[in-house]
Amino acid sequence: MSQQLIFQSEINQAEINAIAWKACDTFRGVVDPSDYKNYILVFLFIKYLSDVWKDKQEQYRQEYNRDEERLRRRMSRERFILPEGCDFDTIYSKRNEANIGEIINIALEKIEEANKAKLDGVFRNIDFNSESNLGETKDRNARLKHLIEDFADQRLDLRPSRIGNRDVIGDTYQYLIERFASDAGKKGGEFFTPPQVSTLLAKLLQPKKGDRICDPACGSGSLLIRVADEIQDRDFALYGQESNGSTWALCRMNMFLHGKDSARIEWGDTLRNPKLIEGDALMKFDIVVANPPFSLDKWGADKVAADKFNRFHRGIPPKSKADYAFIIHMIGTTIEGAGKVGVIVPHGVLFRGGAEGKIRKQLIEENLLEAVIGLPANLFYGTGIPAAILIFNRGKKTSDVLFIDASREYEDAKNQSKLREQDIEKIVGTYKKFETVEKYAYRATVEEIRENDYNLNVPRYVDMFEEEEEINIKGLQIEIERLEAELTETRKKINEYLTELGINRL
């Protein structure tokens, strides 16, 4: 099959998404979705690198009148290097080889080696020659051949000369990650935040030019990218940390495909071993945002008393629930007097007692909490429980806290609730005004929160009671009498019909 691709007047995003998603058929029923997503996304990444590299070569070859030495020098200064023989076309030409899995692995190793600063370690957790994941040699080779041929679809042309400035590849990558999250059940929530929620957080935190932005539980990086995209400028710095190696790799590729090559994404456990360090201290950020795993068990509570960064001076959260451990870490990494935190939490964080209650009390008394936003149930992959957003602000201008009940306004989709554009706009607009809105938001004083024993449950502050409409007893009696008269008349007619037919009357 020739690799000469057919040109279309305009590349179709939905069509490309569908082609990439169809490639998953190779693995369905054989490999778990949480595993096969890595093979699909890595292959999409290879296809993108190959198409961009080929496009640049063609452009410079014409520009330099086929001077191969000048072409080589120019290509060596490109955004990335694609070593000879590591491109998709070469892999396609070898798709029938008995060691095709090994061939792909070697190509990935060479790509990593040639791009250490940006891609070092990105492919270390993916093995295209894995018997445990892809089956014995004959079956594995057949699956890999199908995968390669799926990505050779003539419509899957990712060259910049074809797609222009549109972020087609980034959109497809995001599309696939979201589909994988949906299919992966509970595991899906571990690496992906729904786009509407990411958009809401981005607009609430209002990042600005020059900000340093961090997600200490960044998953595949979608939330971090969305917050950065809220800034209509390239002047920002992105940081993140992720404990799962495969998900960390997805995040690195996601950043690369969205043109955020300089993002610093560390691999490791944020609570046990934070990697974003400056000197001997934690790095400080303007914006810290996260959707950490809800109520993570065995997070390392037994070790934090000796935490060298003194993050847990307000108290140690329960060993079975890491929610406040993430909150404490996030607040501790914001810039004094200016930094903001946006974190998604389960509702238990708002009212649970014990160590969590004591920490919550201190955060409120330190005047760090700015807003509590109750979200609809069933928004997140893998859990139907309702969640909330907490906004902490180290530059607060008031001691009051705004409570917003956004739990009842959403689109009730087939399998999952979704925030609509108007829902997001209403939440953000209410937050910015910071005023009480009847049956939707309440601006509470710290004294009121104290009176509620520091319980932050939204219904304690936002009155959702709906008065029942007064019943008109006399009118209701008249309506009942009318209906009874109609019923009597109807029975009379039915009995007449039954008599004519020789059937017993009612």
Dihedral, 342, 323, 33, 377 alpha carbons, nearest 10: -70
Where does residue 26 rank: exposed (0-12), middle (13-18), buried (19+ CB within 10 A)? buried
Q: How many CB atoms lie within 10 A of CB 113?
A: 12
Residue 6 confidence (pLDDT) = 37
Residue 2 confidence (pLDDT) = 39
pLDDT digit string (tens) for 312-336? 999 999 999 999 999 999 999 999 9
- Collect the ranges in the chain with pLDDT lower than 50: 1-10, 188-189
- State the greatest distance between any 2 C-alpha atoms of the chain, in Å, as a whole number: 105
SS3 per-residue string spanning 320-371 = CCCHHHHHHHHHHCECCCCCEEEEEEECHHHHCCHHHHHHHHHHHHCCCEEE
Tokens 């490109």 — which residue?
Answer: 78
Residue 131 confidence (pLDDT) = 92
Q: With residue 373 as reference, give the H or E element that holds it.
A: strand 369-374
How far is it, in rounded angstroms, from Cα 198 to Cα 215?
Answer: 12
Residue 119 confidence (pLDDT) = 93
Q: Report CA-CA distances (Å) from 235 to 207, 260, 298.
A: 11, 11, 38
Residue 226 confidence (pLDDT) = 93
Output the pTM of the full model.
0.84
Residue 85 confidence (pLDDT) = 95
Angle at which helices 222-229 and 245-257 cross, to 10°: 30
pLDDT digit string (tens) for 270-285? 999 999 999 999 999 9
The pair of structure tokens assigned to 55 is 């496009």
Q: How many CB atoms lie within 10 A of CB 130?
A: 15
State which amino acid sits at residue 120. Answer: D
Tokens 């039915």 — which residue?
Answer: 494
Residue 4 confidence (pLDDT) = 39
Residue 90 confidence (pLDDT) = 97
